[in-house]
Structure 1
């Protein structure tokens, strides 16, 4: 891949050259190439390519619905790679579909346990920020998700970030849905917990009543803040905020 070294940075197309900016590699330039679009759409030799394109398009649509559902949470926790990583994961889940033919495989809810462990910020994790296990549960009978935050001493059990004075826990529970307008998750948050002194055990509970046949997934997040004159401000860019799909409850 050719690099742009001049003071003037181009974007777009000039003749057979295409100029772009990659988020990590900087400005790049490449020559126009590849197979004609019409040929890909009609040539029997590109049947596998068309099947892959169809499935990846379906995966992108499903991932978009999840992002819409979690939009309010993503503003605080997601990094700039989350979109592509989530689409890639959904694509892998689609490939677990053993009922439909190649090119027509879809996201089946019985395979959704593969969502468990997904990190919305790949630079951080719950385990990195807190040296205690967080294991939420979902009770279908009661229609409630529960997270017990164990007693901990921030000085020993928390990754202390420069400038941070407090931390906050978020518990979210959502019905897994591929509807055009997916239902919003139910969220509850702890108070702002000072990063000094022992924090006693605390329980967060989020009510969510769903149909017995619905899949439910549970998310836990940890975010860091700085207190100034009684106001709490998120750390710049929240580089270490963590949010994880910690469990997927299949009926």
Structure 2
């Protein structure tokens, strides 16, 4: 444990433990949003990206580099922005429209589009839902606060929609701001909506970091 020959090994181990902890914290902070749109390799994919973010930490000593300090770099932010929690359903492969975010309120707006023409949906789907998440997370302390918008449900029909998703509030926690969009698909039968057991189309995308 103290042999100088293994100093680099110990440092790498400490940093790996730090980034795996950051990945677990982010998944925990997002709670049910992740459960509803993830793939089997999410943990390893997220750790890989966070390792790159950690490498952007230019203030900590080797062995102590971390995600919190790495995110002070705009390059690190760009690495994490756009991350899809379900690799089988990236935002760009499901939705073909312009998505914008209001950093101050967390409101996510989607430009007017026709769901039948500009969305890829699973067989049997009759409706889809959209939900925004505004997360503040402090990777240094482990604190987090998540505010969600109501789930807006739309019919998959030949019509145009202009969604505006407004989180219930603005998180007051100091930390990194993250804006996320969740898309899920349903089937309506006799007035009741049923979740489709097909995770290949549910989207959870980290739209922006602020």
Partner SS, residue 166 of structure 2: strand
- The partner residue of 2:166 within 205, 209, 218 is 205
- The partner residue of 1:168 within 118, 126, 129 is 129
Instruction: Note the residue ranges of structure 1 that are not aligned, 5 or more in a row.
Output: 1-40
1:91 CA displacement: 1.7
Does 2:123 match 1:157? no
Aligned to 2:15: 55
Partner SS, residue 184 of structure 1: strand
Partner SS, residue 64 of structure 2: coil
1:166 CA displacement: 0.8
1:214 CA displacement: 3.4
Q: TM-score, normalised by structure 2?
A: 0.88
Aligned to 2:72: 110
Question: Superposition RMSD on alpha carbons, in Å?
Answer: 1.9
Partner SS, residue 138 of structure 1: coil
The whole-number CA distance in structure 1 between the counterparts of 2:143 and 2:2 is 35
The whole-number CA distance in structure 1 between the counterparts of 2:131 and 2:125 is 17
Partner SS, residue 99 of structure 2: coil
Q: Is the CA contact (8 Å cut-off) linking 1:174 and 1:186 kept in structure 2?
A: yes
Aligned residue-pair number: 204
Aligned to 1:123: 88
1:209 CA displacement: 4.3
The whole-number CA distance in structure 2 between the counterparts of 1:221 and 1:106 is 28
The whole-number CA distance in structure 1 between the counterparts of 2:83 and 2:109 is 21
The whole-number CA distance in structure 1 between the counterparts of 2:46 and 2:102 is 23
Q: Is the CA contact (8 Å cut-off) linking 1:171 and 1:204 kept in structure 2?
A: yes
Q: Looking at both structures, which has the greater relative contact order when contacts are Cα pairs under 8 Å and sequence separation is at least 6? A: 2
Does 2:195 match 1:230? no
> Which protein is bigger by CA-based radius of gyration?
1
Aligned to 1:136: 101
Q: Is the CA contact (8 Å cut-off) linking 1:136 and 1:247 kept in structure 2?
A: yes
Does 2:58 match 1:98? yes
Q: TM-score, normalised by structure 1?
A: 0.75
Instruction: Note the residue ranges of structure 2 that are not aligned, 5 or more in a row.
Output: none
The whole-number CA distance in structure 1 between the counterparts of 2:150 and 2:91 is 15
1:104 CA displacement: 1.4
